[in-house]
Amino acid sequence: MASKRQQPQDTSPPNARGGGQIIVKLCGMSEAGITFWSRHQFDVAAELQLRVRREALPAALRESIKSDDHGWASVRGFVVECRAVRRANGATAFRISLVLDVALTAPRPSLRDMPPPLPMCHAAPRVFGLN
């Protein structure tokens, strides 16, 4: 007879990198990045791929990222910050900031699409560079 108790979520062996549940708590998400708590430390500029529920993604990302039949989407990004922090319960965790690759490859407005520069104010004093 099969056991009905829940299986542990972290399936990676101790001291291993990758695989298993790395996100302890999702802190925030925007069109440009994700911030989360993790049990694992990652090097800055490391590439990570995360699976998140499609409905948790910001509206702008839902349109550009495909999801599977079960509503999960894979997002890829690069670590820009990994800070070790002692949590309230005494455990050490890492606060990871990830910039998404879709934000890095998003089209940027060209100079034609930008508003014209404001005219110079001639009454303003001249500003010289620092030495």
- For 62-95, what is each residue's pLDDT tens digit? 877 877 778 888 889 999 999 998 878 888 889 9
CB 66 within 8 A of CB 49: no
The owner of tokens 């062996």 is 13
Coil, strand or helix at 56: helix
15: which DSSP letter? T
Give me 70's structure tokens: 């079960």
Query: How far is the C-alpha of 37 from the C-alpha of 63, rounded, in Å?
Result: 26
How confident is the model at residue 114, as a pLDDT?
61
pTM equals 0.62
CA angle 122, 127, 131 (to 5 degrees): 165
How confident is the model at residue 17, as a pLDDT?
52
How confident is the model at residue 116, as a pLDDT?
62
How confident is the model at residue 109, as a pLDDT?
62
How confident is the model at residue 7, as a pLDDT?
40
Give me 95's structure tokens: 């606060």
Query: How far is the C-alpha of 81 from the C-alpha of 44, rounded, in Å?
Result: 6
CB 100 within 8 A of CB 33: yes
> Which regions of the chain are under pLDDT 50?
1-15
